[in-house]
Amino acid sequence: MDKVLSKRLLPAVVIEDAELAIPLSEALLAAGLPVIEITFRTKAAEAAIRNVAQRFPEMVLGAGTLLTPDQVSRARDAGATFGVAPGLSESVVRRAQECGLQIIPGVVTATEVTRALELGCQVLKFFPADACGGVKAIKALGGAFGHAGVRFVPTGGIDTKNLREYLALPIVAAVGGSWMVEKALIASKNWQQIETLTREALVAANG
């Protein structure tokens, strides 16, 4: 999991054309970000993960929006090494653990955090971050769960302007988002802009 969180930035990608995952990965790598989360929101996701896995073994490759155990298995078989879920599903977590896929389940409440810990998960997605209290909510949860080793990856409503507020919290390991890899930028093949936005985000996150 340390490799997933090492750059403190997790780009969530929605991709419609699996072939575009190659130049997209090249842009991220050129910017200095060897991490990508390809979400299972499109039919192209599985093939896109496979393309990246085969072409860029140095990329820390994840699958996002995992909603079912079947998606977990397909993601792992395609070459993903970690998975992200928007919510806390015991069946999704169990399948990930069974097949050796590192999993970051989504939580919002103290009850969900407690259940995640019971399932053996300490790195948790806080989603949707902005809509569910943002920095204040995470800080409050940190008071209750920081000693248990919980680390949050907030996603939703985060961009270069506010990510430092989140990352300033000791309990926040990284932030996620799609602002540097927006669908429109991918569709228009604007790799230079993606590289530029990713560089800016990395500076903001680690500067």
Q: How many CB atoms lie within 10 A of CB 137?
A: 18
Q: Which of 7, 46, 125, 195 is catalytic?
A: 125
| Cβ proximity of 104 and 125 under 8 Å | yes
Cα(44)–Cα(14) distance, integer angstroms: 9
Contact 199, 4 (CB under 8 A): no
Which residue is catalytic, options 37, 46, 98, 195?
37
Q: Label residues 112-123 b or e (16+ Cβ within 10 Å = b).
A: bbebbbebebbb
Beta bridge partners of 36: 61
Q: Is 125 a catalytic residue?
A: yes
- Closest by CA to 87, choosing from 70, 104, 111, is 104
In the block, tokens 């560089």 appear at: 199
| Active site (catalytic) residues | 37, 125
